[in-house]
Amino acid sequence: MTITDIVDYCLSKNGAYQDFPFGFIPICFKVCNRLFLELYPKEENFKITVKCEPIVADFYRQQHPNIVVVGYHCPDRQKPYKNTVYLNKGLDEELVFQMIDHSYNEVVKYLKKKDREKLNMITRGV
């Protein structure tokens, strides 16, 4: 899995765009001004941080110890909802894409109604 694979996949999501609110690293991906993925592209520390339902986050951590961990930079109140995934430790690419999908869907699920409607309009090409 490469940086380009992740960038292209994230940007293929409806309404997704890159943002750099913290400087050049991490590369942040947002939808409707809400963060759904942080990408840390350095080869020696190649990882992403994604949003999850707490039960899903815990499941991934248990299934992939030392590869999927609690969001390392998160305040305590966000830790149940964030996972950091180390991409250079052999995790299946399809699983990483599923985690990205889940993160995007979690963010979209909690958007304001008017923002979800805007996304639906983009999907329909209106």
Q: Which residues pair with 29 in a beta bridge?
A: 18, 37
The residue-averaged pLDDT of 103-108 equals 97
pLDDT of the residue at 67:
97
Q: Where are the domains of the chain?
A: 3-111
The residue-averaged pLDDT of 77-97 equals 95
Tell me if 106 sits within 8 A of 18, measured CB to CB.
no
pLDDT digits (tens, 9 = 90+) for 29-40: 999 999 999 999
pLDDT of the residue at 123:
66
Q: How far apart are CA 1 and CA 114, in angstroms?
A: 35
- Band of the pLDDT at 72, cuts 50, 70, 90? confident
Helix (H, G, I), strand (E, B) or coil at 19: strand
Q: What is the pTM of this model?
A: 0.92
Helix (H, G, I), strand (E, B) or coil at 27: strand
The residue-averaged pLDDT of 42-66 equals 96
| pLDDT higher than 90, residue 46 | yes
pLDDT of the residue at 118:
86
* Whether domain 3-111 has CATH 3.30.420.130: no
pLDDT of the residue at 53:
96
Edge-first strand order for the sheet with 16-19 is 16-19, 27-31, 34-40, 47-51, 82-86, 68-70
Percentages of the chain per state (helix, strand, coil), in multiples of 5: 45, 25, 30
Residue type, 83: N
